[in-house]
Amino acid sequence: MSRFLFVSEHHDTYGVKRLCQVLGVSRSGYYAWTMRGPSAHAERDLELAAVVCEVHSRSRRTYGAPRVHAELGRLGHRTGRKRVARLMREYGLVGAHSRRKWRTGKPNTAWAPDLVERDFNPAVRDRVWAADVTQFRTDEGWLHFAGVIDLYSRRVIGWAMGNSPDADLVIDALVMAFERRRPDQKPIHHADRGAAYTSLAFGQQLERLGIAASFGSTGDAYDNAAVESTWSVLKRELAWIHGQHAWRTRALLRSAIFDYVEGFYNTTRIKQRLGYRSPAEFEQEAIA
């Protein structure tokens, strides 16, 4: 019924024939419906659909039905997840899709043990930081993104971008994280055994900042799964938001990454494991 209501609301702009074709309903059914008038349930569907569309738009079109449903609850709209999923199908709203992860780099010999041992859910902030480097393709060549997340909230607390995944890049991300957080305790910095993280320069920087080093096992993706899943979300949703997987220039990509991380992921994007709160909200509520 909600599709007939949509046709009724928009037929002056798009025409009945075109709307019925797009929405998969018959014109005869629509005209029969207009003679009866919409039901109360259909009107409620239309009202809810407007809010669903707004929530989906604010998520930069990345939320699927579970997150849209959770956000509706936060806004005071009580409804079932199946109803939300149905409305999203009817209005052609979909969340960001998964894509295959890229892997580069060769593992090196680590000079520190694994202090995390796959415990990716610390009870307090700044106890365990996790880091990794990922890369994006542009017409000018690769852009490498090094980031540090706090495993407590999954907040991206430090990042850097450059043309090479070297020690300077990961040091810049580490220093940003330290300057932003100024942790009272000695955090653990967990990373894979890539050349940049096992370099002498990076080890010396960790020592200067009073941060304990930790490395996962060679060739075991689960040992840094938390941060790798964060980068997977970053790449998938950036491509979804901007409608592209290859970028024309590094400058355009840098701007898009900055906007996503600081303007959306940290502050707005809700996560199921955080009780459908954003990383910033989760940390703020812990302090309050």
Domains of the chain, first to last:
2-90 (no CATH), 128-287 (3.30.420.10)
pLDDT confidence of 19, banded at 50, 70, 90? confident
Report the alpha-carbon distance of residue 123 to residue 106 in Å, rounded. Answer: 32
Q: How far is CA 73 from CA 65, 67, 77, 157, 218, in A?
A: 12, 10, 5, 28, 43
Report the alpha-carbon distance of residue 264 to residue 238 in Å, rounded. Answer: 11
Give tens-digit pLDDT for 53-63.
888 888 888 88
Tokens 């799964």 identify what position? Answer: 225
Beta bridge partners of 230: none
What's the pLDDT score for residue 91? Answer: 79
What's the pLDDT score for residue 135? Answer: 94
User: Would you say residue 102 has pLDDT above 60?
Assistant: no
Report the alpha-carbon distance of residue 96 to residue 108 in Å, rounded. Answer: 34
Beta bridge partners of 189: 129, 213
pLDDT confidence of 233, banded at 50, 70, 90? very high
User: Would you say residue 1 has pLDDT above 70?
Assistant: no
pTM score, two decimals? 0.69
Give tens-digit pLDDT for 170-193.
999 999 999 999 998 899 999 988
Report the alpha-carbon distance of residue 119 to residue 80 in Å, rounded. Answer: 34
Q: Pick the residue with more confidence: 243 or 153?
A: 153
∠126-177-148 over CA atoms, to 5°?
Answer: 80
User: Would you say residue 109 has pLDDT above 60?
Assistant: no
Using an 8 Å Cβ cutoff, are 2 and 49 in contact?
yes
Q: Pick the residue with more confidence: 24 or 231?
A: 231
As a whole number, mean pLDDT of residues 259-270 equals 95
